[in-house]
Structure 1
């Protein structure tokens, strides 16, 4: 006997909240956040806009869910009793995972810089990180500062990365080739060799510096 629950009025077979959020992320990457409407997203999924309200009750819920989906897919899910002694590696994986997630869906960046991530699924994830840090000996306020500082670093770095990439694709880096090597020998050498220009390397360096500073602040 089938155990499938009957679908409610307006629901569509195979459509889930996660599928709606994933399609919304893809849509925003292709067309931009300003183009996202319930009607436009419904057309992408082949359903009426009203059908989407069975999965996300409002446009705000859709936006919150997109942030949640991006955040929870990208950041490692720690167990509730995560080892406090590995907090540095935990934060490092958190930062690198979030960067990769935002690079996969850069269209979400305007939301990440202007809207708090406050769904229960997102807050559950943050709660575990806070528990890990407080068990490691950090004051609760300091622990929250640590997480927020990392998030700001990630969002700002990804925003800069994507902007530089767009400028380079549009030929906006021509000024590098015009540098006078007699006046700027070190900058010309860096541009020619690529030293100090790798985004992932710079990001890892910044994260390591922050985490080292966090560790010293606890002593």
Structure 2
């Protein structure tokens, strides 16, 4: 195979594109090299291993949040800031559903950081932004923890509903088997259509509003 000169950023961007198209389970150095028109060994000049390549790809995606248009203007309040960060993260999760779970499973920059805002650069931005709105140190950290817990839980649920291969998909249950499984569970059977309804947009907005209101209450207390 003819070789060509690569740059580290090109390799990382290619890995992100590969994962978004094929999923993390399919990523190997050989396959990524083939997609770039080089042998796998050419990639090792830029990243020492597949694990370090994935870590670099995750770091690039997290840093890319700063490029979201929602992060390009100065919020007028801490509430607006949280809204911007939350919706930028949701844009990322829904546009890259095969990459997003890696923000959770890969080790963060430090053990005391929480996904998905898992980089020191991002946490510095988050905490210093809240401090500009007169948050105390304790309340800024508490807000970071509450915000990341809400975002992580909600967006992982949304991503899992998109049927990605970030994790092995369960076997499908046929309709007849599903009917039989529900025979002994009359309440679930009666409410299953409601359970199947998708109100992700509304639930995300409502949950974020409730979180902001809880934070506001702590500030007023």
TM-score by shorter chain over 0.5: yes
For 2:57, the equivalent position in structure 1 comes to 66
Do the aligned partners of 1:41 and 1:49 also contact (CA within 8 Å) in 2? Answer: yes
- Does the aligned pair in 2 maintain the 1:133–1:143 contact within 8 Å? yes
Could you say if the C-alpha distance between residues 38 and 92 of structure 1 is closer, same or farther in structure 2, counting changes exceeding 3 Å?
A: same
Change (3 A) 1:54 1:86: farther
Is the Cα–Cα contact under 8 Å of residues 11 and 43 in structure 2 kept in the other structure? yes
CA contact (8 A) 2:93 2:100 kept: yes
Partner of residue 43, structure 2: 52
1:38 aligned onto 2:7: no
Secondary structure of 1:161's counterpart equals helix
The alpha-carbon deviation at position 203 of structure 1 amounts to 0.9
Question: What's the TM-score once normalised by structure 1's chain length?
Answer: 0.69
Structure 1 unaligned spans of 5+:
1-9
* 2:80 equivalent in structure 1: 89
Q: Distance in 2 between matches of 1:212 and 1:172?
A: 43
1: CA distance between counterparts of 2:104 and 2:174? 25
1:143 maps onto 2:144 in alignment: no
Structure 2 unaligned spans of 5+: 111-117, 164-168
Q: Kindly indicate whether the alpha-carbon contact (under 8 Å) linking 1:95 and 1:151 is maintained by their aligned counterparts in 2.
A: no
Residue 191 (structure 1) shift: 7.0
Question: Once the 2 structures are TM-superposed, how far is the Cα of residue 63 of structure 1 from its aligned partner?
Answer: 1.9
How many residues are paired up? 198
Q: CA deviation at 1:91?
A: 1.4
The structure-2 alpha-carbon separation of the partners of 1:22 and 1:161, relative to structure 1 and needing over 3 Å to count, comes to: same
Contact 1:106 1:162 in 2 (8 A): yes
Which residue matches 2:153?
156
Checking the alignment, whether the CA contact within 8 Å between 1:28 and 1:36 is kept in structure 2 is: yes
Q: Deviations over 1:129-150 (max 9, x none)?
A: 2111122222334323323433
Secondary structure of the 2:47 match is coil
Q: Deviations over 1:184-209 (max 9, x none)?
A: 9x9588579x5xx3212211111121
Q: Could you tell me how far apart the structure 1 residues matched to 2:98 and 2:195 are? A: 29
- Per the alignment, in what secondary structure is the counterpart of residue 113 of structure 1? helix
* Structure 1 vs Structure 2 CA RMSD: 3.8
Distance 1:115 1:198, change over 3 A: same
Q: Which residue of 2 aligns with 1:3?
A: none
How many Å apart are 1:49 and its aligned residue?
2.4
